[in-house]
Structure 1
């Protein structure tokens, strides 16, 4: 077998990492490495963008330790039965690459995931060793995100959090049935057990910090997870319910959604085509509603059709408002914050600005116009000092009025 150079390994293992959405890229032109030229991709592999605990957008080297794997998950390009080019880094090579990129000012940290080699615990030990070399031997203070392996020894999962800023464990699929069918080597109790270990360690460390200034940090940026959308029969309502439960039980920072993408030599049990990317987008919007707008999972799901699927042509916040018109219009000069947050076209900043401004004077429609990208979208759902949507609110064709360009709907939540 021909020995791969470090650059060749990087090309293989950066490209293989692009399927992990837990580190999302943004703000770059579309370039990929499917033709074998260049290293990785700025859209999801190679160098990706993530947010640090203080809100900064940072660039990370995004790679796999290896794309060898003893598991045979049907949806994974790196499964053991897949006919792909394989490569493997040593922990020292991962550390050296990270430092090399860091010194050139290309990156500010590392996102490291891996296929499973020999065993889950062995692989986890190798990933931890790469992080340990960076932290202890080179005093690396950049951001590190480790994708931990739920089947590994719990003590190794705990140890990962001592070196990483963020740790994550993929739940893979939204339902137990889907996981059983498409990832027979994995189980929900094992995955959730590992997430429990991480959450307990985060809570324990937080408590220790209150009493001991020098208590060790454990994953200060928390934990996240990812689920694949469209590989099984789960509806949007199933996914939203599952995500809400994960947030509540494990205190997750983020749930990432990754639309299933057909892979070479795909298993016969997989769909023949990927779901619409707009479906992934609507799920992220629904997630945003639960995290920042105070919506419960059942409220978001109320906007779905009888089959549990969200509309693709309008965002879930607008879909909710159109379905529950009896709750609108709301008076911008009197309504509570949680009520204003449910007005289509009003974002969190706009609502905060309304609450501040109305302490000084009554707000008119022109005042609201300054706070939103789409006044057309807002008008049917509000009352202002000089505005009441008497004729507009009850129109049968209101949906076409507030989303006049059909699928090209105006701004999601406004300013």
Structure 2
């Protein structure tokens, strides 16, 4: 009976956790010690592929879906008529160790509704992580939610036992949070972010002086924004994300498209979910800011506050800035080569390395694996596709979209031919 009851809780609380997308790791390097269990790899964990091609996963659950708050966008809000459940501290520990021993998981992602108050809930999250580390000698990856409003003492303890902590900002703006979650305070969200940012920085500095300094949230902190529940444009969303990256040293910002789950005049109508492509475009823009040297105001602006849904943000930027092309990849700086549509971060580095030995031509770029069908419109090769032929941005866009459509149709036809 005990096992059946725990499994029933697991079904409820794993399903409720699926709405939290800020669930991956990076840069944690918690080594196995004293013949313990697990090892948190720096390559990344949880519902993702590592650099060596492995697919790894976490036990992703809520401690409880009981909650004192009534956030309109949340399936666990107190006014929602859903089946409620709550794990004990020991049940989560036993589930984690049991699943790990059966090779189902490599770590734990633990979030929670708010039981009674933030400290009451955070204390239980910390106790779970502490038991796993000290009693079970578990060295696998642990991601904990940092509950807004929890004390600094509990956040400090959480950082000692977890690899990553995340404080979900939830809404892109303070105004939206007030509209849909009037019981919550935006300052309560920012305060733990600041504490964790400072703690992570201080421990890193101390580690340089004394290698015995314990780890403190070695995989950093992350956050999540629900998009589409309110009317913020992409410029506002990316502006907030950029603030977190620059001011909070955030490791990742996640974007979760709102799925209408209730009738509420403040929310989009049921049956009108946020297009998945919008999430995808936000992640692409986020990637450009973090790794390609773009500023947010280059990608979106007052004259184009939303990302194009039919083309990716880098191509959108290039089409708005044709005066910067064509680019000679044999002489251009790495930063500009990275901005050419169809050339990725790593491909740009390969180009710079390869051109030391010869002057690169179109066939060389194809060997390096770039998307030449897209890049060719922005390169300074003598070809019928070059911008020297005075193609307009609309013409280039149409050429690329038509090629993509034709390629998709051909692939679909080839797959049908296999049946």
Question: Normalising TM by the smaller chain, what interval?
Answer: 0.7 to 0.9
Distance in 2 between residues matched to 1:409 and 1:392, nearest whole Å: 25
- List runs of 5+ in structure 1 lacking aligned partners: 26-46, 411-415
CA distance in 1, matches of 2:207, 2:51: 17
- Distance change in 2, residues 1:241/1:194 (3 Å): same
Take 2:11 and 2:204, find their aligned partners in 1: how far apart are those partners? 39
Aligned equivalent of 1:62, options 54, 60, 63: 60
SS at match of 1:238: helix
Q: Deviations over 1:95-119 (max 9, x none)?
A: 0000000000010000000000011
Structure 2: gaps spanning 5 or more residues: 26-44, 409-419
Could you report, residue by residue, the CA deviation over 1:116-170 in whole angstroms, capped at 9, with x for unpaired residues?
0011100000111111110010100010000110111122112111110000000
Partners of 1:293 and 1:408 in 2: CA distance: 29
1:299-331 Cα distance to aligned partner (Å, 9 max, x none)? 1114xx836111100000000000111111111
Once the two structures are superposed, residues 181-208 of structure 1 have per-residue CA deviations (whole angstroms, 9 ceiling, x without a partner) of 0111222222111100001110110011
- Partner Cα distance (1:73, 1:51) in 2: 33
Rounded to whole Å, the distance in 1 between the matches of 2:112 and 2:74 is 12
What does residue 357 of structure 1 align with? 354
Give secondary structure in 2 for the equivalent of 1:146.
strand
Aligned equivalent of 1:300? 299
User: Deviation digits for residues 269-290 of structure 1, max 9, x if unmatched?
Assistant: 1111212111111000000101
The alpha-carbon distance between structure 1 residues 261 and 48, as it changes in their structure 2 partners (threshold 3 A), is farther
Secondary structure, counterpart of 2:150 in structure 1:
coil
Q: 1:199 to 1:184 in 2, by over 3 A?
A: same
- For 1:44, the equivalent position in structure 2 comes to none
TM-score, length-scaled by structure 1: 0.88
2:40 paired residue number: none
Contact kept, 8 Å, 1:313 with 1:408, in 2: the verdict is no
* Residue matched to 1:380: 377
Q: Which residue of 1 aligns with 2:283?
A: 284
Whether 1:330 aligns to 2:310 is: no
Range with greater deviation from structure 2 (242-251 or 47-56): 47-56
Matches within 5 A, 1:64-79: 64-79=62-77
How many residues are aligned here? 385
Q: TM-score, normalized by length of structure 2?
A: 0.87
Tell me the C-alpha RMSD between the 2 structures.
Answer: 2.5
Deviations 1:241-266, CA, capped at 9 Å, x for gaps? 11111100011110000000111x44
The answer to whether residue 165 in structure 2 is matched with residue 191 in structure 1 is no
Which of 221, 224, 249 does residue 222 from structure 2 map onto?
A: 224
What are the equivalent positions in structure 2 for 1:27-38 lying under 5 Å apart? none
